[in-house]
Amino acid sequence: MPRILLVAQDKGGSGKTVLVRALAECLPSAHLIEIEANRRLVELEDRVSFFPVRAERGEINRTGGAAARAEFDGPLNAIATAQGPVIVDVGANTAGSLLPLIGEAQARYARRGVEFGLLVVLTSEPGALANAPVLLDLAKPFTAARFAVENQIEGPVDPKALKAFTKDVTLTRLEKLSLDERANDLLQKGGLRFIGEDLTAAEDSLTDRFGFAEAGRIVEDLTRFRAKAMQAAGPAARWLEG
Amino acid sequence: MPLDPKRLARDAKRAQAQRPDSSIGRETTGVTRAVRAGLPVIRQLRAAGVTWAAIAEALSAQGVTQGEGQPLTATRLTAIVTQVEAQERRTAEREARRRTRPDLTASSEIVPPPELSLPDPVAPAPPAPAGSGAHATEEEIRRAGLHDLRQLLKKS
């Protein structure tokens, strides 16, 4: 039975894509669907099927709204034909439209043996914090499991606020880590994949370029960050693995 | 190891003469060269809504193939276009940086793009020219960053 994990947060800059990358690290066999305005998970190459959103205004005008109704056909079709675990990166400002469509089609997906989970990333930023319970509620009727990751990049979230909407939700935390400036630059360029695959072997190159001490900080910071992100994604990854 | 300076100069000049007439570097395949030459037309076709797959098919019909005569795929074509555009952008950035350096004078090796004149020696440096004539997309910037990272991680 294919399991589909939707990773969502309609507020941008919450760290959603970091969690998607961490899930991809936890489950190297999982396929990914990226629903975004622009392709972001470039380092994951052919593991990712990319579907651009949203429909262009000109196209919507030309087709009398048909383009708007059909704008999610690509990812909805891809989900229907999934053969194994799939991580779906739902871009900002998209989940509020996509989740109801999946909910409407849930019975048809169930007949194909598809099972859904939801992972919401939230921060203390008011927009992200307010959106998290909305998405969790939207997904409740059609998901077998729901997860929330508190990304403390903007500071810890008020525990009372969290408690109010995380009943029946598996909650994990990604604590804020201070990264070496160059380590952060490399993280932005390469995501998490290179940290597990190439970083240790590249320590000599980094030492030649940045010196012994900074190369050590880069390797240490990036390795720690990847481990923490994978830890935060762990429960959802275990559910996805089945 | 003792170095023969005359031989070094001779070999370097010979190697330089054998390089293609391009500031970007050695072309690795004929496909890249063909795509580079056809890039303005490819951009026009994309702007007109022609798909990458259709463009790849049309290029294949003119003999631009990959591997052992296999038709060019849309994926391969977009990868090459992204690579060429990233190269153009980096070249433009490098040239712009050089023009801002007070310790360098214009030489025959650094030829400004034809639409630009040499900067006035006392005027502020002009902004970097857009290498491809179009702004880089987010995906192109990300791919260029990933390419830089991979270069950095290569064993020295």
**CA-to-CA distance for B11 and B87, rounded, in angstroms?**
26
- CB-CB neighbors (< 8 A) of A194 in chain B: 149-150, 153
For each of chain A's 242 residues, which pLDDT tens digit applies? 899 999 999 999 999 999 999 999 999 999 999 999 889 999 999 999 999 886 566 666 676 667 667 789 999 999 999 999 999 999 998 999 899 999 999 999 999 999 999 999 999 999 999 999 999 999 999 999 999 999 999 999 999 999 999 999 999 999 998 899 999 999 999 999 999 999 989 999 999 999 999 999 999 999 999 999 999 999 999 999 98
CB environment A176-193: b (16+ within 10 A), e (fewer): eeebbebbbebbebbbbb
* Inter-chain touch A42–B146, beta carbons under 8 Å: yes
B67-107 residue pLDDT tens: 667 888 887 888 888 888 888 888 887 777 777 776 665 54
State mean pLDDT over B100-124: 48
pLDDT at residue B143 greater than cutoff 70: yes
Which residues fall within 8 angstroms of residue A183, CB to CB, at 6 or more apart?
Answer: A217, A218, A221, A222, A225
- Closest partner residue to A38 (CB to CB) among B139, B149, B152 is B139
Whole-number Cα distances in Å, A134 to A71, A106, A120, B18, B153: 22, 19, 10, 64, 42
**CA-to-CA distance for A228 and A40, rounded, in angstroms?**
21
Rounded to the nearest integer, the mean pLDDT of chain B is 71
pLDDT of residue B123: 38
ipTM for the complex shown: 0.85
pLDDT at residue B29 greater than cutoff 70: no
* Inter-chain touch A205–B154, beta carbons under 8 Å: yes
pLDDT of residue A67: 65
What Rg do the C-alpha atoms of chain A give, in angstroms?
19
pLDDT of residue B115: 40
pLDDT of residue B122: 37
Whole-number Cα distances in Å, B67 to A149, A181, B7, B82, B148: 45, 41, 38, 19, 26
- Closest partner residue to B155 (CB to CB) among A42, A189, A205 is A205
- CB-CB neighbors (< 8 A) of B152 in chain A: 186, 202, 205-206, 209
* Inter-chain touch A42–B155, beta carbons under 8 Å: no
Among candidate residues A190, A173, A155, A171, the one with its CA nearest the CA of residue A228: A173
Interface mutation vs chain A, best among B151, B152, B155, most A CBs within 10 Å:
B152
Residues of B near A (Cβ–Cβ under 8 Å) read: 137-139, 142-143, 145-146, 148-150, 152-156
pLDDT at residue B48 greater than cutoff 50: yes
* Inter-chain touch A194–B137, beta carbons under 8 Å: no
- CB-CB neighbors (< 8 A) of B155 in chain A: 201-202, 204-205
* pLDDT bucket at B34, cuts 50 / 70 / 90: confident
* pLDDT bucket at B111, cuts 50 / 70 / 90: very low
pLDDT of residue B126: 38
* Inter-chain touch A205–B152, beta carbons under 8 Å: yes
- CB-CB neighbors (< 8 A) of B150 in chain A: 190, 194
Q: Which residues pair with A146 in a beta bridge?
A: A118
Q: pTM above the 0.95 mark?
A: no
φ, ψ (nearest 5 deg) of residue A149: -115, 120
* Inter-chain touch B148–A188, beta carbons under 8 Å: no
